[in-house]
Amino acid sequence: MTYVGPSASHAEKSHPTEEGTVGRATVKDVVAAYVGLTKPRVIELLLLTTIPVMFFAERGVPDVWKVLATVVGGALSAGAASAYNCVYDRDIDEQMRRTKRRALPRHVVTPRAALVFATVLAVLSTAVLWQFVNGLSAALSVTAIAFYVFVYTMLLKRRTTQNIVWGGIAGCFPTLIGWTAVTGELAWEPVVLFMVVFFWTPPHTWALALRYREDYANVDVPMLPVVAPAATVGRQIVLYSWVMVATSLLLWPVAGTGWFYPVAAVVLGAVFLVEAHRMWGRTRRSDVLSEIAPMRLFHNSNLYLSLLFVAVAIDPLIG
């Protein structure tokens, strides 16, 4: 069984010049490019873990204006972190199939303009959360941005196979922000949900990295599927999946939920574990990407997290 090894070519590559070359583009193209810098799909997923936690913290329907302010502030915060990431990673984004159509690789936006845009979003997100939610939620938002940019993007991503394990912590903060937006303080309940997202991140990201492992290899980003056989990746995905499901069940005794959440967590967890084991089985039989079909697990992971947090929101409403 073979696997993709790291490339030696990245050392010869550097970031594009600071000024860049903005090609001819319409206003619509430029607006779309700036929106793309925020990675809207990532924002959607992050908000999907924020809003249900607010329902859970309120044990009912939270104040609509508080939800709106938290959503706006959280979206701006996530967009800022993503835009900073696009600026720093523009050299490798230009060479990867999955990312080469982003704004900076296409030179629709200059690196300097993107950096200013990211900073404006970060300032606005902090101001919105501080003014209309509370200081603790704003501080958590700033911490999430800093962690994603400095710890994951700049320190871990290009240096270790554990990049998304620890770097994924940034994506767990919405659970804390949603809770503190309602209660003004931290508690064990959002910490449990924080850990669910933490253990969910490696299976989710490694499945995607399996699909694009050659891209990551070509730019010397040591994602686990780049430096390890597919069977090893499959085994790690299964291990993290089991811990994720077990952690999700902790919310039941810790928060004293009703019957709906634990039932949903068991059913969703069982479905996810079956798919994770099936993919591991495929990796043990073959290293061929088309036979492994990692995107099945990737899409399943999105559905799992979405429905689990919907259950978090519904449980107090029917309890």
pLDDT 10s digits, 36-74: 999 998 888 888 999 999 999 999 999 999 999 999 999
298 pLDDT above the threshold of 80: yes
**Per-residue confidence (pLDDT) for residue 24, from 0 to 100:** 66
pLDDT at 230: 94
Instruction: Looking at the structure, give the CATH architecture of the domain made up of residues 187-319.
Output: Up-down Bundle (1.20)
Residue-wise pLDDT tens digits, 222-267: 999 999 999 999 999 999 999 999 999 999 999 999 999 999 999 9
Superfamily for domain range 17-185: UbiA prenyltransferase (1.10.357.140)
What is residue 5's predicted lDDT score, i.e. its pLDDT?
40
d(CA 84, CA 86): 5
**What pLDDT was estimated at residue 26?**
82
Q: What is the domain partition of the chain in residue ranges?
A: 17-185, 187-319
Q: pTM of the full predicted structure?
A: 0.90
